[in-house]
Copies of this chain bind each other. A is one copy, B any other.
Amino acid sequence: MPTNEELLLLDLWVSPFSTRVKIALAEKGLSYKTQEEDVLGGKSDLLLKSNPLYAKVPVLLHNGKPVVESTNIVYYIDETWPSPQLLPACSYGKSTARFWADFIDKKVFDAGRNIWQSKGEELEAAKNEFIDILKKLEGAMGDKDYFGGDKFGFVDVILIGLTTWFYAYEKYGGFKIEKECPKFAAWVNRCKERDSVAKNYIDPERTHEFVGLLRKMHGVE
């Protein structure tokens, strides 16, 4: 990256969506600054100005110009600094990657929230729904090491950030991903061996504690 370029990430330590972006930046070897938002306080003026529609992290400011929504930011990073490429080269491969990224965005985080917000029968249904989603993702991976094949790529970046909250889902849902979806658990471990993932992976004990606070705020316990 030319030295006159500047990358600033509006961040929140516990955001699984920010984690995606940090992993993508690390894959490209890009250096950047972060500005931490206050999780309980008000949102910064820069966040409100950069993302007026959603007012959410992450926002990536590239030479002051904001790019918002985490999946969109990962696309932007991949298109602006194409080497090493995260998306497949061919248009059919790209369309498959986009399909699964979209499936993940539509399903995984919400299904996880349904677990930590529920009790009793509702919790049972939420847990089964979550495991069903992971099994569909295992199906998409097939016998490959990563979603795109033998290389860590776009869909892996989109999904692995979200797994930083999975320990909390296991704890509040009373299940073990390793037991229910061993192939999925093996993929998580494989990803965590990469530097880009290892150094940006949020400590699962800390996300568990944070989700515990969310449960109290939502009156679940």
* Interface mask (A64-82 → B, CB under 8 Å = 1, otherwise 0): 0101110011011001100
Residues on B with beta carbons closer than 8 Å to the beta carbon of A69 = 99, 102
Chain B residues within an 8 Å CB radius of A68: 99
Which of A38-46, A88-96, A120-128 contacts its partner? A88-96
CB neighbors of B among A101-120 (8 A): 102-103
Residues of B contacting A151 in the complex (Cβ-Cβ under 8 angstroms): none
Q: Is the CB of A72 within 8 A of B98?
A: yes
> In the bound complex, what is the Cα–Cα distance between A65 and B99 (angstroms)?
14
Bound CA–CA A76/B73 (angstroms)? 19
- The answer to the question of A136 belonging to the interface, with a C-beta cut-off of 8 Å to chain B, is yes
> Is B53 within 8 A of A75, CB to CB?
no
| Closest CB in chain B relative to A83 CB, distance in Å | 14
Complex CA gap A103/B69 in Å reads 10
Contact across chains for A102 and B136 when beta carbons are under 8 A apart: no
Is the beta-carbon distance between B79 and A91 smaller than 8 angstroms?
yes
Instruction: A182 to B67: give the CA distance in the assembly, Å.
Output: 29
Output the nearest chain B residue to A140 by Cβ-Cβ distance: B53
Partner pick for A102 among B67, B72, B92, CB 8 A cutoff: B72
Known pairs A53-B136, A103-B53, A136-B53; A92 contacts B75 (CB<8 A): no
Q: Would you give the shortest CB distance from A34 to chain B, in whole angstroms?
A: 20
CB proximity of A179 to chain B, nearest CB, Å: 24
Q: Are B53 and A65 in contact (CB under 8 A)?
A: no
Query: How far apart are the CA atoms of A69 and B102 in the complex, in Å?
Result: 9
Within the complex, what minimum Cβ distance (angstroms) separates A42 from chain B?
A: 23
Q: Which residues of B are found within 8 Å of A62, using beta-carbon distances?
A: 92
Instruction: Establish whether residues A99 and B72, one from each chain, have CB atoms under 8 Å apart when the complex forms.
Output: yes
Task: Give A residues with C-beta under 8 Å from B.
Answer: 53, 62, 65, 67-69, 72-73, 75-76, 79-80, 91-92, 94-95, 98-99, 102-103, 136
| Cross-chain pairs A/B with CB under 8 angstroms, 11 sampled | A53-B103, A67-B92, A67-B95, A69-B99, A69-B102, A73-B95, A75-B94, A75-B95, A76-B94, A79-B91, A80-B92
